[in-house]
Structure 1
């Protein structure tokens, strides 16, 4: 596996691969890798000649400096995980100046309102940071296909919108959420939970599963009340929000309409760790 530590090294590598006509699959990460990330590379391996990873903790998508400082970093461990997986041909490890050559600040994006829903309401500017780093990485890596997990469903929708509006020649692929045995969606933040808290957190997935059933017969307001009741009886957990939204616009709904696709979204704080999850509803 090639380890590419500068933008120039990456560009030389990409140029050689393009000359050979290689199709490139790419999944950018912020490190703290786990099996959820590897599921992206597994999908990429099946559809491309070459698979590239990147590891870069992007400062402009953190609203909270403390959260940025706490974000788990162990690049050597991440490289070891990628090498052992056998799924990745090269990993790009850019420095801040490779992504932000002038000032470490985001560009402004218009995502047709997707950025104003859910996470966007509590994290102003977050999706400008996401768009800035992903656009720059796409321009540098020049992938044919790029892979993102559905756990961050709003981020996936926003990256699709950015790619479309910027006319970037990249196909965006959403990969199903990779879950632990107890159903908890795998996340780099989970590493900050004790084993006991990780086990207790399975209630998030269980609640989404129940929501899927409730959605067949109950109103949206009745479902929201049931979810609220579930978390009022949990110690060490605080429900930040639960909502059901149109899958395409991400706008919260108050009632169902025939012929539309919906998804339930939930955010729960366990101790000081913020866990997000979602599920498609029939």
Structure 2
């Protein structure tokens, strides 16, 4: 496994692999890896033997500078995990090599509409930061395949739209959410939970499952389901940030043409913001 910090060196390595006719699969991460990340790597390995993983905590996508400063950095352990997975290259740049002129002078890439609603409305500029860094990493790595987790549902939809709109020759591979036995979606943020908060955390997915079981029934209004879910979570130590039920393709409110819908959950448990989602096929 080759650990690279310099973007130009990475480009030279990629050029050499391309000259050999190798396909490349890419997994972008911000580090602090868990089994969900490793599942992305394993999916990538099913496509090609050449897998590049980036570890970069992207300052452009943080609207809260304290979150950026406190984001856990576990590079040594991350690299050990990736070596066991036979990753080819780990790219771990510093921010000043990715944004040499600073964030304010950086050209950005933004997907309109999809980036402006739901999570985008709660965190203005967040998805601009995501699509800008992913676009830049795509240019550096030149992947044939890129794996993204389904847990960040809106992010995945936005990345897929960007790839389509900009005619990027990259196959985006969505990877299922990895969960603990109690249903809690794996996340780097879970490590910030206290022991008592961790005991409560699985309620988020349980409440989401309750909504999912009721949704096929047209007799129950979606607003009523959301109100009941918010009440249950808030009464059990959570602070609900948002619960939305939208069309999978448009992320707009459900209408008579909706065939697949998604429940999007976001709630604070203490200072930790947890997210989850569930897709439902309508008959």
Could you state the TM-score of these two structures normalised by the residue count of structure 2?
0.94
Instruction: Please say if 1:225 is aligned against 2:224.
Output: no
Provide the aligned C-alpha RMSD in A. Answer: 1.5
Whether the 8 Å contact between 2:31 and 2:73 is mirrored in structure 1 is yes
- Which residue pairs with 2:119 in the alignment? 119
1:258 & 1:131 partners in 2: Cα distance? 29
Whether the 8 Å contact between 2:110 and 2:127 is mirrored in structure 1 is no
Q: Which runs of 4+ in 1 moved over 4 A?
A: none
- Which residue pairs with 2:240 in the alignment? 239
What does 1:167-206 correspond to in 2, within 5 Å? 167-206=167-206
- The alpha-carbon deviation at position 108 of structure 1 amounts to 4.3
Whether the 8 Å contact between 1:107 and 1:128 is mirrored in structure 2 is no
- Which residue pairs with 1:94 in the alignment? 93
Per-residue CA deviations over 1:166-186 (Å, capped at 9, x if unaligned) read 222111111111111111111
- The alpha-carbon deviation at position 190 of structure 1 amounts to 0.8
- The alpha-carbon deviation at position 98 of structure 1 amounts to 2.8
Could you state the TM-score of these two structures normalised by the residue count of structure 1?
0.94
Instruction: Please say if 1:251 is aligned against 2:265.
Output: no
Aligned to 2:216, what secondary structure does the other structure show?
Answer: helix
Distance 1:9 1:160, change over 3 A: same
What does 1:73-88 correspond to in 2, within 5 Å? 73-84=73-84, 86-88=85-87
- The alpha-carbon deviation at position 110 of structure 1 amounts to 4.3
The size of the alignment, in residue pairs, is 278
What does 1:147-158 correspond to in 2, within 5 Å? 147-158=147-158
Gaps of at least 5 residues in structure 1 are none
1:123 & 1:221 partners in 2: Cα distance? 23
Task: Out of 74-83 and 55-64, give the one that drifted further.
Answer: 74-83
Aligned to 1:151, what secondary structure does the other structure show?
Answer: coil
Whether the 8 Å contact between 1:96 and 1:104 is mirrored in structure 2 is no
Gaps of at least 5 residues in structure 2 are none
Whether the 8 Å contact between 2:62 and 2:126 is mirrored in structure 1 is yes
